[in-house]
Every structure is written in C-alpha cells, then in structure tokens.
Structure 1
Amino acid sequence: MPTAVAHVLVVPIMIVTVLAFGAVIRRLLGVRVGLVRTGLAAVLAIWVAGRIMLALAGPEPADTGTALLLMLLAVCCASLLSMIVLVVAEAIVPDGSLPGPLELWRGWRAQRSRTRRYWQIVRIAVRHGLGRFLRGQRHDGLESVAARRRLAVSVRQALDDGGVTFVKLGQQLSTRRDVLPGEFAEELARLQDQAAPVSWAQITAVLRAELGRPVEEVFAHVEAAPLAAASVAQVHAARLLDGAEVVVKVQRPGIAEVVDRDLDILHRLARTLEARTRWGAALGLRDLAQGFADALREELDFRIELENLAAVATTQPAGIRVPAAHAPLCGPRLLVMEKLTGTPLSAAGPALGALPDGRRREIAATLLEAMMSQVLQYGLFHVDLHPGNILLTASGDLGLLDFGSVGRLDATTRLALGRLLAALGGSDSVTATDALLELVDRPAEVDERELERGLGALMVRYTAPGPTAGLAAFPAVLKLVIAHRLAIPPQVAAAFRAFATLEGTLTLIAPDFDLIAEARAAGGRRLAEAATPERLRRTAEHELISLLPLLRRLPRRVDRALAAAEHGRLSVNVRLLADHGDRRYVTGLLHQVLLAVIGSASGLMAVLLLGLPGGPRLTPSIELYAVLGYALLIVAVILVLRVLVVIFRHDRAG
C-alpha cells in the first residue's frame, strides 16, 4: 500500500517541483519566460542535478554535511545549465515567436486558405496572359502605346476576375496617374460598377436577415434585376408599403470573409515589397495597404455610409442632391435610400450634349464648389466622385451616390490644404512649399529649396490659362512628393485623390471648363466669406476667450520677473530628465551596467578563489575557498545571463 501511494504521489510531486524550480529560474533571470520552455528547463535541471549528484558523490558513502553541500552544488550547477539553455533559446527562438497548439491549428487553416487563394490568383493571372510577369524577369516590348494598352486590358480583366478586393484596388489605382501610366489608369477606370450580379435568392436571404422579418412586410415590390452591380454591393429598385420609391443597396453575401482573406494577402505582399524594393519603401506600401484596408472595411459597414449620408446632405449647395435614407430599415449590410431619377454621367453623353455650353459649365462649377466646401469648410468629403457615382437628373441637377468612402480632415489640415490650393492658383511657390510640408510627414532631411523649385516648375506648367491646364496638376504634385520621399497621411492622400478624380469628371461635364480659373474664383469667394465682418468678429471673440486666462496672469508674471531681475535673483531652472520615460531609460541603463560590472567582478573573484591552493576545509573533502569560488561563479553567471536576456529582448523590440 505505501508503495502504491508513493507511485500515486510521484506525478504531483514532480509537477510541484518543476513549477517551483521554473519559478525560481524565472525569478533569478528577472524576466518572464514562457511557461512551456520554463517547465522544460526545470525538467532538464532536475535530470542534470541527479546526474551531477551521482558524479560528485562517487562510490564511497559521504557524511551528512558533505552530502548536503554536494546536493546544493549539484542543484546550483543544474540551475545554471537550465538558465543558459533558456538564454540561448531566447536568443535563437525569442519567447512568443512560436505559436501555441491552438495558434498552430488556426495558422495552419489560414495558411491552407491563403495557399488556395494564391493558386487561384496565379491561375487567373496565367489565364489572362500575365504569367510571364510572375517569374520576376524584365520584359521588353512594352514601350509602345499599343503594347501597354493590351497589357492594361489583361490587368483589368484579371482584377475583375480576382474578386471584390482586387476590383476595389483597381478602382483606387485608376485614380493614381502618379503611379500608373495613363493607359492603365484609363482601362482600370472601367472596373467601376461593372461586377457580375449575384442571384436574387441570395439577395433575398440578406434582406430577410437584415430586416428581421419577411421582405413582403416591408416592401410592396422589389425589382429582382439590379439597377447596378458593384464590387461590394448591388442596388435594386423597390417600393415601400406607403408607395415611396426607394433603392435598396444590399451587400454581397459572404463578402466580408473574402475581403479579410484578400487583405491579408495584400498586407503580406506590401510588407515584402517595402522590405525588398526601393520604390516600395519610397511609396510606403505598408501604410498605403493599411489605408486601403481601413477604407474597404469601412465601406463594408453600411451604418457608416448611413452616417455619411446624413452628414454630407447638410453641406450641399443648390443644384446638388444627396438621397435621404430610411434609417429604421438600414443595417450593417442593408441601406434603403430615396430613389434619385437620372442617368449616371458615365452614360449621360447624349443628355449632356443636349444642354447648352453655359449650362454645362454652370453644372461643373457647382460640382467644384460643392467639393471645395466639403474639403475646405466642413472637412467631410466624397472621396470617389467618378462619373459612375454622379447622376444627371432631368432638371439638370446632379445627384451624388455611394457614400461608403468618405474622407475626414481636421481643421489644421483643412487650413494647410486651402493654403496649398490658393498658392498653386496664385503661382506662389514659397507658400505652396510651406503648406505642402505641413500636410505631409517630413523625413529627417528634406531639400526644401529643391522642393520649392519643383513646385514652381509645376505652377508654370499647369496654371497657364486654358481648360486643360489643371488636368494633371494633382498627379504631378503627388509625383513630386514621392520623388522627395515625403510620406502623405492617408486622409490627405484621399483629398488629393478626390480632386484628381473630380478633374476627369468636370472635363466630362464641360470639356472647355477652365479648372484653374474656376478654382481660383471659388477660393476667392471662400476667402471673402471668411473675411466678412461677422465672421471676423466671431473669430476674434473665440481667440480672445482662449487667451483671456493667459492675459490675466501675464502682468503679474512680468512684474515678478522684473522684480527678480532688479534684485539679482533672476535665474533659469532647467530640469534634467523631467520626463518619466527618460528617467526610466537612464535608470534601466545604469542597472544593466551595474549588473554587468558586479557579474564580471564576481567572475574574477571566483577564478582567483578556485585557483588558491589549500585553505580551511568545511569537510574532509571540501575546501572553503572552492565553495566560495563556486558560489561567486554562480552569482556571476546569473547576473551576466540577466543582462544578456535584456539585450536580446531589446534588440528584438528595436
């Protein structure tokens, strides 16, 4: 029976011993080490301690004191060995870099899904004649316009087959003439609102899930054939039970999971290109990919578009309409809006041609005024005003659609952007340079004089009178920014993209529209509005209220400073290391230096003591100098290991 009880207690005793041993090792190292590797190190230490004990004891039995000392020495040596193993493991495979069993299972499933998607993308590329570009070799023969057009068609077809994420990526790239040649930008623009529709049965299932009741209890009729099928959603005409004509925007089923998988692939690709290519680092591909991912995920939540509709609707001038939403019927995947009757500008060529030239210029000016108000005054603007998102109504007004992608600018950014636009229109390169540097994230070094020259050259080239003078201004500014390695914040890039997209739309409405002249006139009106007596009075009152507490305290502070100077007591007190982070950094550095010095000194003393012959004896076979030498050696090893662990972790964090 005692033997059986002993066998039963072996496992719990071993577990407690291992945990205690692991806790001691982690405490001695001074850092938290993973529980699994700590347990393995403790098991190793127990096994090694037994072997060392047997080797030190020898065949002859020892007295109790000698046995205890030998056991202590064996345990210390085994602990040192375990700590050395932990430090080496931390250097080779840092703690947390290897996933646990659950993470391994999830990672394996995700990797399998990504691999399938990789092969699917490769097959799509090969099917559209892009396989030769996947081998990473340089291909000639693309210098001609015809060859680039053929390749652009293949790229557009491949992106169209790739699914929603790649369609949206193509849509955004179509506005980046600073990155892509014109043939590609023109071809990718055809991706807008041209996705294949999903079946009516799938749309009905989404409607029922979002409404929480049968479709017949909400709508008197819903057209099965979609009005438009975009990459994220499709739009159906419908009529409510009260007879109101509406449009129903329904998200494609299962699109969120597809987007998450493809965005993961794009993130990995952007990270690789930024690390391995100069152009990827110059463009900041990881930040661009993150901005694209954030915008796309925001577009998938129709509740955000509902908020955008309500906010933008209050900022539009006469002649611009925004559909009103039926908020109680809307959800994350469903948007029910007022139906605006009209023709998209992308298909409104005959309707536009029937309008007088003066009316077309008036419509274009109204749209430009609306955009400048959104960007410069309210800081909430439609990012993607391409012709497919603008309706031309029978009365000649414009209706704005698709508010899933909306940019937001703070007051400081709006002011800097307004200064940039005004300087570009007025050929003021110095002010334009200062405003541009306020908009971007400046690197450690930037050649401001060269940047000023570049902006000046752009102004001479693109601000000349004429309807087509400003068409390439914004792409040219973006190219200049990239050439000087200036990082553009995502929202500023969205504003640039919005204006670049708007230029093509304005030209479609009125080919003879003088963008520079109209923008200068709109900016002048905005400055005049800001300089009205009422606006100036409100601004002055606001600034005075902000400065009033400071003005009340200023005379007393000046009087005290003058009195101290008069009596020779004026001094300047500068507190070194006032910041808590600085103090913590210096303190940690001193601690590490102190540990290294003490460890080194202990190691030297241990070597000296172990080399001394003779000396007093604790037992007939154990000398005092040897015990002290081994003890100091253990201390030295522990201290040095603590310093090494901190160094390895700081290197990885850096």
Structure 2
Amino acid sequence: MQKLLGTVFFLPTLFVVGLGFAVAIRRLLGVRIGLVRTVLAAALALVVCGPLLAAMVPGPEAIDTGSGILLIVLAACCASLVAMIVLVIAEVLVPDGSLPGPIELWRGWRSRLVRARRYSQIVRIAARHGLGRFLRGHRHRGLESAVSRRDLARSVRRALDEGGVTFVKLGQQLSTRRDLLPPEFVAELTQLQDNAAPIAWPLVEEVLVSEFGRPVGEVFAEFDHAPLAAASVAQVHSARLPDGRPVVVKVQRPGIERTVERDLDILLRLARTLEFRTDWGRSLRVADLAGGFAEALREELDFTVERDNLQAMAAALADGPDREIRVPAPHAGLASERVLVMERLHGTPLGAAEETLAALGAGRRRQVANALLETVFDQVLVRGMFHVDLHPGNVLVAADGSLGMLDLGSVGRLDGTTRLAVGRLLAALGRADSMAASDALLELVDRPDEIDERTLERALGVLIVRYASPGASAGAAAFAELFRLVTTHRLGIPPQVAAIFRTFATLEGTLTVVDPDFDLVAGAREVGRAQFAEAVEPIRLRQALEDELVTLLPMLRRLPRRVDRIADAVEHGRFTVNVRLFADARDRRVVTGLVHQALLAFVGAAAGVLAVMLLGTEGGPRVTETFGLFGVLGYALLIVAVVLVLRVLVVVFRRDPA
C-alpha cells in the first residue's frame, strides 16, 4: 500500500517537475520549440539532474537545509543547461519542422504509403528504361553526340509514356520548350500521343448522373454511347438536346483527378529534389517548371475553366473582324467540373482533311492560312488571351474553308506590358533592327545579374539577317535559333512568354498543313505591317494619346506641389535623402552570413578559453570517482569550440559553387 501511494504521488510530481523544466528551457532559449523536443529535453534534464545532485552532495549528514536547497537549484540549472545544449545541437542537425510530428505521421501514413508505392513504380520505370543513373546528381559524359542524345530522348519518351497521364502531359508540354531541351528530345517528345482506351458506358452514365442530378434521358434527347474520341483525361460523345440541337459532351474519366493529384505531388517533390541535388536541375529551374505545369494541368481538369475560356474566346472573335473562325459555344447550364456540353461544330480535323483542303484550291487555302495567322496575332497582341496548342488535331476545317478551334482547357494570358513588348519585338524583327529587338527581348525575359548586351544585339542581328530578311524561308528553324540564343545568354523565359513561343512553334506546323507553301516568317511580317498601319491611323493615335494623357494627368497635377515642397526644403536647409540600406535580400543574406561567421568564431574562441580554464582548475564536485564536474564541462566546451571553429573554417576555405 505504501509503495502504491508513493507511485501515485511520484507521477504527478514528476509531471510538474518536467513541465517546469520544459517552460524554463523554452523561456531561456527565447524561441519556439516543438512539443516533442521540449518534452524530450525536459526528460533529459530530469535524468541528468539526479546524478549531478548525487555527485555534488558528499553525504546527507554533511550539509544543512540551506546548502541542500542551493545544491538542488544548481543541479537543476546544470541539467537545464545540458538539455539546452542538446536542443541547440539537434536544431543544427535536424531543424525544427523538417521532420513530421507524431500526429502528422499518424494522420498521413496512408498517403505516404500510396506515395511510396508510386515512387517505387516510377523508379522501376526509370530503371527499366536506363534512366536511373541520371537521378544521382552527377554529370554524365558521353551525351555530347547527337546519337547518344537521341537514344536518351527515346528512353525518356518511353518512360513518360509508361508513367501515365500526368507524365504524358508533361512530355507534351516539354516538347514545345525548345529553349530548354535539345532538338533530339523535342523530336521524340512530340511523338507522345494522349490516347487511351474508352471507358465503359455505365461509368460515363454514372458521372453524368452525378453531375446533373437526374437521368441522362431527361437531359438529352439522344446520346451516343460510343465515344467520338477518348483521351487520358476525358472522352467526347455526340448527343442531341431536347430542342434538337446537336452537341458534344466532354466527360472526365472517373478517378482521374485523384490519380493526377498523386502524380503531381510526386512530380513536385521530385522537381525540388532535382533542383537541390543537380546542376542541370538548378540551371533549368525545374521546380518552377513543375509548378507551372501542375497549375495548367489542374485547370485542364476543371471543365468550368474551359467553359469560361470558350465564352471569352468567342467574345474576342466576335469583337474582331470576321475571319470565319469560330469556337464551340458552351451550354452554361450543362457545365460542371467534370462534364462540359458544347455546340457541335461541323468539319474535319486538319490532320485528316486532305480531301477537304484539296477541294478548296490554292488561293482559298492561302486565305485560310492568313486568317488563322491574323487571328493568333490578334489574340496575342490585342486580346491578351490565346490558344496555346493549335496543332492540326485542334483545328476543324469545313467544306467552305471556315475553321473551328477546339480544346481551350488551357489558354495563355498576357498583361498589357508583355503584349507591348511582344509587339515591339516583332516590329523590330520586321524592320531588321537588332538594337530595338534586343531591348524588347530583354523586357520579355528574366534578366540575369550580368549580361553582355552588345553580344546579344550582334547575335540577334545575325539571326535577323539569316531568317527574317526578304526571301528567307525558315519557319520553325527561326524559333529554334531564337530559343538557342536565349539559352546561350542564360535568359530566363517566364511561363507566359514561353507559351507564346510554343503557340507560334505549333502554329507553323498547322499552317503548313493548310498551305504547304505558306511562309510563317513572311506572313508574320505582313501581318505585323498591317497591324502597325492600323495602329498609326489617326483615330487610333488620338485614342492612344487620350489614354496616355489620362494616365499622366494625376502625376502632372501633383508635380507643381512636389516641386514647391522640394524647393522650400532646399531653401530652409531641410532637404534630406533617405536611403534604405540592405533593401535587397541578397545584400541582407551576405551581411547576415558574415555576422553569423563572426559570431560563430567569437563563441568558439570563448568556449575554447573557458574550456582551458576549467580543465586547469583543480578540485570541484565529482561526477564519478575519476572525473570531476569541471573536467566534464571543460571537455564539453572544448568539443563545442572545435565544432564551431571547424564550421567557420569550412565556410572560409570552401569554394563558392559556379
């Protein structure tokens, strides 16, 4: 009974003492520490406190009550100091928050298990296609030849194709980034096809009933169970509304969103790892690329985004001149995140419209190609919203030559500044003005800290003479050379600007299908001249002048008062200039690093001096029969001093990465 009562009173006492240690350690360190680390530190302090107190007390009969209290306080302080030292070391080795807590581990074990299985599957796919060696972060020789790059590109394509919908979509997007990938990779990745086996009608019906909340027969008068086309994200069926209008119904595959989110989570984690561990990952900024790709793919999975894009594109086409180009009108009341009902446009995809195009004749085909090019220029330079993937499968051609644009799940959007810079770049290329082209290009891209503008200007001049001079016919080769020029000068291309290049690179192949003799560069030059002539019309110039005056008027009204205040301050000697030091984050990082190194050196030196003093001091409390307390603390401080000094020396002698 007495033992049981002792246990009952001991546990609350132990909890109160541990809580006191935890609060004291947090307050003394002055930073927030995780609950688990605080509890472990308090337990360590409790464990250490007993032996320290036993070593300090020579015997119960040798001290009075006051001395015992002082020894208990001293032992508690020493134990807290040991716990804080352990916490600081743990923070250096494993920062707080870098590992999930027990609650997070318990809640997320299932998702981690699923992710681990998918990780294992991806690694097996990569290894099966000979790509495992490129995940170790080393630079591999032997890829300088075109043959070796072609073999590697073929392996990458096969691995992406086997990886599933997310990786197929990734490969398709990368196939348009000629600024990032060599031509061998672009040629291979363009062969990726977003095809899939059709899903059974019961599954399609289940999605339709779930989204509309009523049977399919109440929504449609007719519904063809056989799909018109099946892709990895959705499949399309033909149907007829109760009022007799023919429509197409785009139905998302069941469970595809969960699969894509799982793969995107893995892809983002993999991109961050590659950017951290590999040089090529940092140079390509794969984390930003993966983030942009994830955002675009999530938009593609939400059919309400495509509905809004269709409505906006239809309004833009209606506002401009009639070029006989349409987009299918969505039925707003029959659109959700997983189902989209659209007007059915009659025509044949360009990729399979040889007979239709041949019946149009050469002159009409040239008109159709010019109309499509003018529409894209109008979307990019005027509207700020454009179709980013106008490949032949996304363009329908009717018997009269009118066109229909399909698949607007993901569109490009440009702000006014970017549109003006694109217009200046195209105008400068048309005038063969390398200086103006260089200035416009630098407004479009992310400039590095150092750039040789004169060399860039000369390279642009050579490119203009080669590809943009009258009589030259280059097409996609001009865009490839421009991408190579951007990569050579280490210019970063924002995603929206890369979408423009992707659009024109894809459009070149589509225009060639419409008119095999069509010259994209010459056509763009003519369209640019026409738009420039339209822009300098008196009514347009007057409107532009009025817009500029409206913008400048508030500044002009405030200018006299500001000048008067500046003159008054100068006259009375109150004129001062405020400069914010270290406003740039890079400057703050440099100064912070220097301060940290100086602080580490000072603390290391102080710890070394204290260690020598403690090791040279005789007597003191005994921890064991062999070691005294001063000796133990001295050796501990000596270890701390050596570690801190070594950290400083490593930073001093380490070469900065290139």
Provide the TM-score with structure 1 as the length reference.
0.84
- CA displacement at 1:308 relative to structure 2: 0.7
**2:522 maps to which residue?**
517
Residue correspondence of structure 1 range 584-599 to structure 2 within 5 A: none
Candidates 351, 363, 368, aligned match of 1:363 = 368
Q: 3-state SS of the aligned residue for 1:407?
A: strand
- CA displacement at 1:118 relative to structure 2: 4.5
- CA displacement at 1:82 relative to structure 2: 0.8
Candidates 336, 345, 351, aligned match of 1:346 = 351
Q: 3-state SS of the aligned residue for 1:399?
A: strand
Candidates 493, 499, 514, aligned match of 1:494 = 499
Q: 3-state SS of the aligned residue for 2:251?
A: strand
1:548 aligns with 2:553: yes
Q: 2: distance between equivalents of 1:162 and 1:599?
A: 52
Aligned AA (2:345): L
CA contact (8 A) 1:283 1:482 kept: no
1:38 aligns with 2:56: no
Relative distance call for 1:24 and 1:596 in structure 2 (3 A) is farther
Residue correspondence of structure 1 range 524-539 to structure 2 within 5 A: 524-539=529-544
Aligned AA (2:331): H
- CA displacement at 1:257 relative to structure 2: 1.7
- CA displacement at 1:518 relative to structure 2: 1.9
Q: 2: distance between equivalents of 1:602 and 1:110?
A: 46
CA contact (8 A) 1:467 1:511 kept: no
Q: 1: distance between equivalents of 2:143 and 2:562?
A: 73
Q: 3-state SS of the aligned residue for 1:292?
A: helix
CA contact (8 A) 1:467 1:513 kept: no
CA contact (8 A) 1:220 1:239 kept: yes
**1:131 maps to which residue?**
129
Candidates 431, 455, 461, aligned match of 1:450 = 455
Q: 1: distance between equivalents of 2:598 and 2:144?
A: 62
**1:329 maps to which residue?**
334
Structure 1 unmatched runs, 5+: 615-620, 622-628
- CA displacement at 1:35 relative to structure 2: 0.9
Relative distance call for 1:265 and 1:577 in structure 2 (3 A) is closer
Relative distance call for 1:29 and 1:229 in structure 2 (3 A) is same
1:30-85, Cα deviation, whole Å (9 max, x unpaired): 11111111111111112211221122112242111111111111111111111111
**2:398 maps to which residue?**
393
- CA displacement at 1:195 relative to structure 2: 2.6
Q: 2: distance between equivalents of 1:354 and 1:412?
A: 43
Relative distance call for 1:112 and 1:466 in structure 2 (3 A) is farther
1:216-264, Cα deviation, whole Å (9 max, x unpaired): 1101121111111122111100111121110000111111122122223
- CA displacement at 1:105 relative to structure 2: 4.6
* Farther-moved stretch of structure 1 (3-12 vs 520-529): 3-12
**2:20 maps to which residue?**
20
1:423 aligns with 2:428: yes
Q: 3-state SS of the aligned residue for 1:307?
A: helix
Candidates 372, 382, 385, aligned match of 2:387 = 382
**2:242 maps to which residue?**
241
1:545-582, Cα deviation, whole Å (9 max, x unpaired): 333333233334434545665x5747433355597999
Relative distance call for 1:579 and 1:276 in structure 2 (3 A) is closer
Q: 1: distance between equivalents of 2:582 and 2:282?
A: 36
* Farther-moved stretch of structure 1 (334-343 vs 575-584): 575-584
Relative distance call for 1:197 and 1:185 in structure 2 (3 A) is farther
Aligned residues: 623
Structure 2 unmatched runs, 5+: 135-139, 622-628, 652-658
Q: 2: distance between equivalents of 1:256 and 1:42?
A: 46
Aligned AA (1:372): F
Residue correspondence of structure 1 range 165-314 to structure 2 within 5 A: 165-179=166-180, 185-186=186-187, 188-314=189-315
Q: 2: distance between equivalents of 1:605 and 1:154?
A: 61
Provide the TM-score with structure 2 as the length reference.
0.84
Q: 3-state SS of the aligned residue for 1:341?
A: coil
Q: 2: distance between equivalents of 1:188 and 1:598?
A: 56
Q: 3-state SS of the aligned residue for 2:221?
A: strand
Q: 1: distance between equivalents of 2:600 and 2:277?
A: 39
Relative distance call for 1:124 and 1:592 in structure 2 (3 A) is closer
CA contact (8 A) 2:229 2:235 kept: yes
1:454-487, Cα deviation, whole Å (9 max, x unpaired): 2222212211445842332222211211122111
Relative distance call for 1:265 and 1:598 in structure 2 (3 A) is closer
Aligned AA (2:437): A
CA contact (8 A) 1:167 1:231 kept: no
The structure whose RCO (Cα within 8 Å, separation 6+) is larger is 1
Q: 3-state SS of the aligned residue for 2:578?
A: coil
Q: 2: distance between equivalents of 1:591 and 1:181?
A: 43
- CA displacement at 1:315 relative to structure 2: 1.3
